[in-house]
């Protein structure tokens, strides 16, 4: 069971929802502190109906989590939503974000891109999503390891909570 203070913070951060033909994946990028005091700047809470292979990740249960906060490396909710909805992402092509210094980062579309995945690039440094053609013209740095973030937290799949998350996201997108 997810504690209310964790859910309250999660809703203020905003969930990333990725729909596919096979399943729906809901993630939440955050900074996480475990009950044992261990802290991770890049962690994802995961709500997934059918679990996937977990061999390349460190996995915790939501019961291990003391609290969460916003991660300084997380993309804003706006850019996470835009990234999920780009034609490049939906077609499994790379997609691209521009940093404040005008440089472009490219990512494979294997899973939602919730973080910058670069120690020197904070989420607040991202200023826009750019198209494939613009990235090719201007050049870009490719982030190859974005699916290998160190920590994932399995939160189960409570249909009532999932409906609440989806409704909150659709309301947010309309404003």
| CA-to-CA separations, 9 to 29, 31, 96, 128, 167, in angstroms, rounded | 11, 11, 28, 25, 17
Instruction: Write out pLDDT tens, residues 3-43.
Output: 788 889 999 999 988 876 666 788 899 999 999 999 999 99
Instruction: Write out pLDDT tens, residues 84-96.
Output: 777 655 556 778 8
Task: Tell me, yes or no, if the pTM score tops 0.75.
Answer: yes
The mean pLDDT of 59-65, rounded to a whole number, is 87
Q: Domain locations in the chain?
A: 4-71+148-174, 77-143
State the chain's maximal CA–CA distance in angstroms. 48
């Amino acid at each position: 069971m997810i504690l209310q203070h964790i859910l309250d913070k999660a809703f203020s951060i905003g969930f990333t929802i990725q729909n596919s033909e096979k399943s729906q994946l809901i993630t939440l990028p955050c900074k996480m502190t475990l009950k044992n005091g261990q802290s991770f700047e890049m962690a994802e809470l995961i709500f997934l109906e059918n679990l996937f292979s977990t061999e390349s990740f460190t996995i915790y249960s939501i019961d291990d989590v003391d609290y969460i906060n916003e991660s300084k490396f997380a993309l804003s909710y706006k850019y996470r939503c835009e990234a999920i909805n780009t034609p490049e992402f939906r077609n499994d092509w790379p997609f691209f974000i521009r940093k404040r210094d005008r440089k472009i980062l490219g990512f494979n579309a294997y899973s939602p891109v919730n973080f910058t995945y670069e120690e020197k690039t904070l989420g607040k440094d991202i200023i826009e999503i750019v198209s494939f053609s613009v990235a090719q013209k201007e050049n870009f740095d490719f982030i190859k390891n974005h699916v290998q973030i160190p920590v994932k937290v399995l939160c189960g799949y409570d249909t009532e909570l999932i409906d609440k998350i989806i409704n909150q996201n659709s309301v947010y997108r309309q404003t």
